[in-house]
Amino acid sequence: MKYTQLGRTGLKVSRLVLGTMNFGPQTDETDSHAIMDAALGAGINFLDTANVYGWGVNKGRTEEIIGSWFAKGGGRRDQVVLATKVYGNMAADGDAWPNHDKLSALNIRRAVDASLKRLGTDHIDLYQFHHIDRSTPFEEIWQAIDVLVQQGKILYAGSSNFPGYKIAQANETAARRGGALGLVSEQCLYNLAERRAEMEVIPAAQDYGLGVIPWSPLHGGLLGGVIRKQAEGGRRASGRAADALADPKTRARIQAYEDLLDKHGVEPGEAALAWLLTRPGVTGPIVGPRTTEQLESALRAVELELGEELLAGLDEVFPGPGPAPEAFAW
């Protein structure tokens, strides 16, 4: 496994991030533990989750599965850089009481303690804001984070799904407060088929020293060889991928993508991950395997070298928007 530093921090993390969103809803506890063991054995030390994972009546379940894995011992917790998120509503279904979501100081305090309990640990390495909160000023957010850092409950703060201007607002506010480290990472939607983050989010992250952690690197399976798998009688596209393939232009683009990679003898899913690892500012994409076989495929992407001809071909199939303001102005 290869490692890099998370943004401007001294924290060293693997170039693949193990996403856990499937743990609970699609992958049971036993298989989830097996995937985490395999990932750790392969050198992946960066584990990402969120308090709402498990979803619906089972929200929080994913953190519990990770907590039971830590409880097995063997140095599991000490070897992992643990990231989770706060924002989603954690109130019981049907509970109409306010202050169970978003980024008020009250909810941040409540949410971090609940996550620590589910995870069975005394600290979270990277505590991420899952979405912007338009109602809470960053002064309040950073006051809450400062207290958690002083208490030893968290080490670093990161963002997720933030626009570029909010990354700037957050870190300028932290700088004015003095002594605060501010955001050290941004977790955003970024892949070959969805490159809008290149306009402002990634440049802002680079200017402020945030590591970029792309989620949905295969764009819901669309970049994983979906047309070929379908033709070979494998798993059919579903959800967002199926909706996208219903559009003739999108289907033609994905077919061109798969044809290009077939010409170069490269697996589509591995190429999509390897491409992200070539992008400026990217720390590592989040992979969310449902099985150990899917994890093994992701691991091969770390060692995959994409030649200049192939990279140019990928840019032709999926041209990026370019940086702002040139992307929409002269």
DSSP sequence for 107-162? HHHHHHHHHHHHHT-S-EEEEEESS--TTS-HHHHHHHHHHHHHHTSEEEEEEES-
Distance from the first to the final alpha carbon of the chain: 42
Active site residue: 3, 53, 127, 190, which one? Answer: 53
Given the DSSP bridges, would you call strands 46-48 and 81-86 parallel, antiparallel or unpaired?
parallel
List 72's β-bridge partners, or say none: none
Token pair of 57 as six digits: 């009546």
Mark whether 53 is an active-site residue. yes
Helix (H, G, I), strand (E, B) or coil at 235: coil
- Measured CA to CA, the distance from residue 164 to residue 212 in angstroms comes to 12
Given the DSSP bridges, would you call strands 211-215 and 183-189 parallel, antiparallel or unpaired?
parallel
How far lies 34's CA from each of 50, 101, 119, in Å?
20, 32, 17
In the DSSP assignment, the letter for residue 131 is S
Number of separate helices (H) and strands (E) present in the chain: 13, 10
- Greatest Cα-to-Cα distance within the chain, rounded to the nearest angstrom: 59
How far lies 195's CA from each of 32, 315, 326, in Å?
30, 11, 15
Residue with tokens 């703060």, as numbered in its chain? 157
- Measured CA to CA, the distance from residue 129 to residue 86 in angstroms comes to 5
Q: Which amino acid is at 225?
A: G
- Measured CA to CA, the distance from residue 22 to residue 53 in angstroms comes to 8
In the DSSP assignment, the letter for residue 9 is S
**Positions marked active-site:** 53
